[in-house]
Structure 1
């Protein structure tokens, strides 16, 4: 039997044409799940936990989502609704950079999102609106459709990987346990030992490469330039 497709949630009407009005909505369920995930991480999100948060029984919540994967699908599409799709600038590279910068901000607001986007796409209306907006930015570029889709996918992957690296570099949350090693301290000590001269030279330039916002802008623009997207 094939695995359940979480995007099936979008193929079902949210409200039946007959019967009483539903007590809950997909948006309300997603909002409750997001609150849990943002505060405690994605692992804390379950059908039972979300049901308790919205004041429903776990069994009744299955009338709205058929599985945990469908619940995550609603969450991913809800955060995609935070994009602003108005046209910013006239040139494809600038418009795509704006979407990437928005994506980075969204992933920082929802730290569980970045690794998820690298492993599973969302097919909800907000997610498809993002994809359509990115392709609209690429409309003037003389490339076939599959190549444009690949460019958008790579830009999103770079953004997700960049944010994951940012978040992993932050000090761990929680009670202070003495003076833990700084993130990256092992790398610093290894470079100081002199065994990796080429890496040390590259990292020396990295320290002067500007702040993290500039580094992100550089990463995206360099990729888009290499892909032939005009500024």
Structure 2
């Protein structure tokens, strides 16, 4: 994450740094306008299309003007991610823990479906923008102090588990969607294309469990599959016994 140094020499993050004074000409700028433009570019063309130079051109400004608002592209990405977190509705404070975690998970999935590039930036170190912190706070608060979760370490581990499932499932869904667009093969056509090879592989008898999964399992649509997996994770969390 890119940082600047404050007057006391301490690094300051973009969240705590004031914007430059507004100028009416040649075109007014703000971090919000910069971020909205960058998100529009990323939605249309992917993250590779986002650069300070291209965003500046879309805003009718010179690239150097953007450096008054941002130190580097990394800060722009941080702001974009936080803006998407801001689109995710937070559960009501009195919402029960399972419903709260379910709501947050589905909210993140819907946000990633609207902004596929968002999934590429999930994972790794926590995001620190105010909207991302509010999302994390809501995730922790859903469990904190509930039966079986008096210990904050248990809360943290359960939250990580839910998040790992959600991020992994969302990324897999996005990758599959991109593959369909890149190859022009939707799921039925892809299955038809690889069908003869799979049949030959299964005929060897070396993959009995895989054969049963392919031939006998229920093939769910993406949303149902996501919800089914999430409910299994929440079942596991709910089975945690209360601490003595």
Q: Shared fold by TM > 0.5?
A: yes
Report the aligned-residue RMSD: 2.9
Residue in 2 aligned with 1:227? 237
Matched residue, 2:224 = 214
Partner in structure 1 of residue 22 of structure 2 = 21
Q: 1:97 and 1:184 mapped to 2: Cα distance?
A: 35
**Gaps (5+ residues) in structure 2?**
5-11
Deviations 1:127-176, CA, capped at 9 Å, x for gaps: 11111111221134224223323332332232222122222323543696
TM-score, length basis structure 1: 0.82
**Mapped partners of 1:38, 1:53: distance in 2:** 14
Q: Which of 35, 42, 64 is the equivalent residue of 1:30?
A: 35
Q: Partners of 1:184 and 1:219 in 2: how far apart?
A: 26
* Further displaced range: 44-53 or 210-219: 210-219
Change (3 A) 1:185 1:158: farther
Residues 161, 60 of structure 1: alpha-carbon distance in 2 compared, 3 angstrom cutoff: same
Q: Deviations over 1:68-110 (max 9, x none)?
A: 1000000000001101114297421121011101110100001
Name which of structure 1's ranges 118-127 and 141-150 shifts more when overlaid on structure 2. 141-150
TM-score by length of 2: 0.78
Larger RCO (alpha carbons 8 Å, 6+ apart): 1
CA-to-aligned-CA distance 1:175-200 (integer Å, 9 cap, x gap) = 969xxx61695477335531421122
Q: Which has the larger radius of gyration?
A: 2
